[in-house]
């Protein structure tokens, strides 16, 4: 009698997922877009001047820079004005990027191949060893995905593959996507 327990695998998705799909969701992409947007508020114009001067290159730089920049503002109202402007344009930008993304069967296959065989990118002997461990008991590997992504690209890829079926979704003979 086998006393094996089904494996559980958790994938954590962030912006790197979209960037790997070729979507322009890096900070520099948004930065270029945001600076071109019209603004009538002097607080926003001042923020944009600050962003152009500092030339942040990563999202983390922007977050730190905003924290430092808000210390220079005179009131909570000024902070609200710039944060609302920035977040409204970020939401609009990400919606546009997401809407322009059309997953095809090659993307679906790549994503599901990665979910079913995450070890395949490991060096030869190590990949075989991990695969043996993952498949030795014959019970399904339950896969969960936690998405910190601001777009719905992963969900759209899943929807294409299951044609709006309900979870759990079989990924392979031995793998089931159980939750997102």
On whether both 46 and 78 belong to a single domain, the answer is yes
On whether both 88 and 113 belong to a single domain, the answer is no
Task: Kindly state the percentage of the chain with pLDDT values over 90.
Answer: 32
Out of 69, 100, 131, pick the residue that ends a domain.
100
Residue 147's CB: how many other CB atoms inside 10 A?
16
- Rounded to the nearest 5°, which phi and psi values hold at 7? -75, 150
What are 123-180's pLDDT values in tens digits? Answer: 878 878 877 777 676 666 778 889 998 898 998 888 776 653 444 454 555 666 776 7
Write down the pTM of the prediction.
Answer: 0.75
Q: Of 151, 120, 117, 178, nearest to 21 (Cα)?
A: 151
Q: Of 177, 111, 112, nearest to 145 (Cα)?
A: 177
3 located within any domain = no
2 located within any domain = no
On whether both 49 and 74 belong to a single domain, the answer is yes
What are 81-109's pLDDT values in tens digits? Answer: 999 999 999 999 999 999 999 888 788 87
Q: Which long-range contacts (CB under 8 A, 24 or more apart) does 123-127 make?
A: none
Full residue range of the structural domain in which residue 143 is found: 8-21+103-179
Out of 42, 72, 100, pick the residue that ends a domain.
100
């Amino acid at each position: 009698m086998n006393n094996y327990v089904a494996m559980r695998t958790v994938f954590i998705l962030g912006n790197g997922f979209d960037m790997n799909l070729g979507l322009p969701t890096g900070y520099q992409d948004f930065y270029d877009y945001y600076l071109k947007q019209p603004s009538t508020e002097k607080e926003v114009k001042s923020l944009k001047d600050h962003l152009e001067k500092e030339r942040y290159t990563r999202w983390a730089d922007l977050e730190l820079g905003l924290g430092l920049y808000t210390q220079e503002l005179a009131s909570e109202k000024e902070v609200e004005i710039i944060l609302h402007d920035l977040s409204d344009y970020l939401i609009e930008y990400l919606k546009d990027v997401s809407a322009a993304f059309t997953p095809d069967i090659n993307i679906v296959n790549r994503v599901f191949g990665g979910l079913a065989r995450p070890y395949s990118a490991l060096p030869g002997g190590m990949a075989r060893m991990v695969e043996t461990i993952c498949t030795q008991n014959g019970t399904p590997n339950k896969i969960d995905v936690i998405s910190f992504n601001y777009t719905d690209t992963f969900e759209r890829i899943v929807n294409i593959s299951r044609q709006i079926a309900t979870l759990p979704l079989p990924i392979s003979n031995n793998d089931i996507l159980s939750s997102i």
